Chain A
């Protein structure tokens, strides 16, 4: 492989991984923007999305999906789309329910109390994912190894689009990530900018009391935020599973940590910031793996983060503002 091929390849991987991180980061940043809660459980909601997707694929039968004769080429994309919507809705509703049951009664409690409650929810969800992996279904290994990572079948055909002889690998999965995350991000941006509910979100984020006085149903706005944030997390979990072909009950940990880092890097509360932050983290990881050493990658990622924050204390695209009192 020539140097430029290597670089191009790393850009492809960096962007693909980064887009997924960005999608998860949006969920963190939206919730933070509205209720100032670092939703620790978000990464684990994401995990459950992956488990739901594998359950659906397993129920439909992996063989039927993978057989090119049984179903046409378009059915793969249809399935992928269905999984994104299904897991998205599931995670959205789950996220909203968690908010209703756990966070809402604590809205007036100290911020850190909510944080610990979110940590608690995260543990509960990890346990649910563990049990889910023990469901006696073939896709879960017949329930024998609940804690082991699970294989997620290849939904999109895995050959190299640039030809089998090419050194640079570009697969349908990479394309699919762009094809699904970019419309979601554009749609979200438009929704928050133009729609009535989106305006309500921005107003609530700025000043919940004033928003309420202006007749905005802030409770509904908060619910909607959790719903949308969860939906994006669910969609991301499907993309993650399809891209990595593995899910495990602890997969939300690194994804969540990367996404949280991305959200802060971009400026927490800022939607474009989360997208930019996610893509940057993906790229930094890829470049560090290639040009430094994999074992130093986490150090590089967090070192860059700290450096950036030292010079731009509100993140790359965050607004400079005084802490609310």
Chain B
């Protein structure tokens, strides 16, 4: 540390030596003042500009509901929620610079005690190590890439690379893709299918879940007749459908989302005369997918796997959530709304436990307390965080579309 200081002074003495000293001080000075702050800030970092907007709006609504339910305060400390955008107009999608900035901003603001995000697994890779080093708890309502928390799925250095401090600060309330991809493959076999063509959108999430599907499909004896990655911006996939037709595929698995053009693919399978079932992961479990693909391309032809069950079919507290959401926003929640709600809820519950125990609510105590979450009774049922920070909830539902609505055909626990 000494060398670094002296170097900085050397480098800048001529121009601005006081700036370096001043520039470094706010973090340190404020950190000790943290306890005396009378607000608790919870921020979310989700892509609000561009194509994921509908899904994230629903999640933000869920977070707001969770905060409103405790009266917007823990004891005498007011909870301030800020809805941060990690997308930029210039990219129209999540922007790594903005996500990095959001993490830095959260670290620099001592009142921020919890960070809810991200939506895209790729974005999580940017902010996870930063927040980990700073010891801020991060709860993702949507990242499903297994490598973020589990060994053996991504690179050899995952997930340790996201935990520079050695502690775990990243938790998620959604089940991961290693379960989801396998559920989809098993289901394809159950349907009596034999030949699968595996597609992905060449993004972190889609590629990851498709790879797991492919692996599982081979394990259980399905023939993989082709693997390819699509261009999500292409105008149609008719030529690709012809290729799949020639390959004799009776199941097409697409690892991707509505935003990466799953709707178009569903349509082109029908238009191209390919008589195959399409199976897609939870990134398509949103109304927007039905709107994009239209009924005629979906009914009886597509299955969607989803971590958890349809919001409408939730029981107990989940049902309450569903009803309250309808009351508050006059519209059915998207699939991920409940995860936004649950993520905020689990953080707030930890804070309340601290408050009741008389422990000061700080970044460190909140982080520790969230990690202790056990047998949490929430909208998604009763679950805990395991040693990796993942939810123990492994419920998946397989859904199809009927009359323009999702209907569950199977629940896998």
Q: Which residues of A contact B (CB under 8 A)?
A: 1, 6, 9-10, 13-14, 17, 20, 123, 126, 141, 144-151, 153-154, 158, 160, 167, 169, 171, 240, 243-246, 248, 250-251, 253-255, 258, 285-286, 289-290, 293-295, 297-298
B230 at the interface (CB under 8 A from A): yes
Q: Which residue of B lies closest to A293 (CB)?
A: B228
Q: Is the CB of B229 within 8 A of A13?
A: no
Q: Is the CB of A244 within 8 A of B239?
A: no
B287 at the interface (CB under 8 A from A): yes
Rounded to whole Å, the gap between the CB of B265 and the closest CB of chain A is: 10
Q: Which residue of B lies closest to A289 (CB)?
A: B239
Q: How far is the CA of A160 from the CA of B272 in the complex (A)?
A: 9
Which residue of B89, B267, B286, B287 contacts A246 across the interface (Cβ within 8 Å)? B267
Q: Is the CB of A123 within 8 A of B243?
A: no
Rounded to whole Å, the gap between the CB of A111 and the closest CB of chain B is: 22
Query: Which residues of A sit under 8 angstroms from B335, Cβ to Cβ?
Result: none
Which residue of B54, B231, B267, B296 contacts A297 across the interface (Cβ within 8 Å)? B231
Q: Is the CB of B271 within 8 A of A171?
A: yes
Would you list which residues of chain B between 52 and 111 have a CB under 8 Å from chain A?
52-54, 89, 92
Would you list which residues of chain B between 207 and 238 have a CB under 8 Å from chain A?
228-231, 233-238
Query: Which residues of A sit under 8 angstroms from B292, Cβ to Cβ?
Result: 148-151, 246, 248
Q: Which residue of A lies closest to B296 (CB)?
A: A154
Additional pairs, 4, CB under 8 Å, beyond known A145-B287, A148-B286: A13-B239, A149-B261, A151-B293, A294-B237
Knowing A149-B261, A160-B273, say if A254 contacts B288 (CB, 8 Å).
no
Q: Is the CB of A150 within 8 A of B291?
A: yes
Which residue of B234, B246, B293, B294 contacts A6 across the interface (Cβ within 8 Å)? B246
Knowing A150-B291, A246-B264, say if A9 contacts B54 (CB, 8 Å).
no
Q: Is the CB of A243 within 8 A of B236?
A: yes
Rounded to whole Å, the gap between the CB of B376 and the closest CB of chain A is: 30
Q: Which residue of B lies closest to A139 (CB)?
A: B291
Would you list which residues of chain B between 282 and 315 have a CB under 8 Å from chain A?
286-289, 291-294, 296
Number of CB contacts from chain A to chain B under 8 A: 125
Q: Is the CB of B331 within 8 A of A244?
A: no
Knowing A6-B242, A149-B292, A295-B202, say if A244 contacts B264 (CB, 8 Å).
yes
Query: Which residues of B sit under 8 angstroms from A151, Cβ to Cβ?
Result: 263, 291-294
B164 at the interface (CB under 8 A from A): no
Q: Is the CB of B228 within 8 A of A295?
A: yes
Knowing A150-B292, A158-B271, say if A290 contacts B245 (CB, 8 Å).
no
Q: Is the CB of A294 within 8 A of B228?
A: yes
Q: Is the CB of A289 within 8 A of B236?
A: no
Q: How far is the CA of A251 from the CA of B264 in the complex (A)?
A: 12
Query: Which residues of A sit under 8 angstroms from B231, Cβ to Cβ?
Result: 254, 294-295, 297-298
Q: Is the CB of A289 within 8 A of B243?
A: yes
Rounded to whole Å, the gap between the CB of A117 and the closest CB of chain B is: 16
Q: Is the CB of B264 within 8 A of A250?
A: no
Q: How far is the CA of A1 from the CA of B273 in the complex (A)?
A: 12
Which of A150, A160, A251 has the largest count of B CB atoms less than 10 A from its CB? Answer: A150
- Provide a sorted-by-A list of 15 A–B residue pairs whose CB atoms are within 8 angstroms: A1-B246, A13-B242, A123-B89, A144-B54, A144-B331, A147-B50, A147-B54, A149-B292, A169-B272, A244-B267, A289-B240, A294-B239, A294-B240, A295-B229, A298-B231
Query: Which residues of B sit under 8 angstroms from A147, Cβ to Cβ?
Result: 50-54
Rounded to whole Å, the gap between the CB of B241 and the closest CB of chain A is: 9
Q: How far is the CA of A47 from the CA of B52 in the complex (A)?
A: 19
Which of A167, A240, A248 has the largest count of B CB atoms less than 10 A from its CB? Answer: A248
Knowing A6-B242, A13-B239, say if A246 contacts B233 (CB, 8 Å).
no
Q: Is the CB of B291 within 8 A of A141?
A: yes
Rounded to whole Å, the gap between the CB of B59 and the closest CB of chain A is: 13
Knowing A147-B51, A160-B273, A246-B263, say if A153 contacts B235 (CB, 8 Å).
no
B176 at the interface (CB under 8 A from A): no
Which residue of A126, A169, A294 contacts B271 across the interface (Cβ within 8 Å)? A169
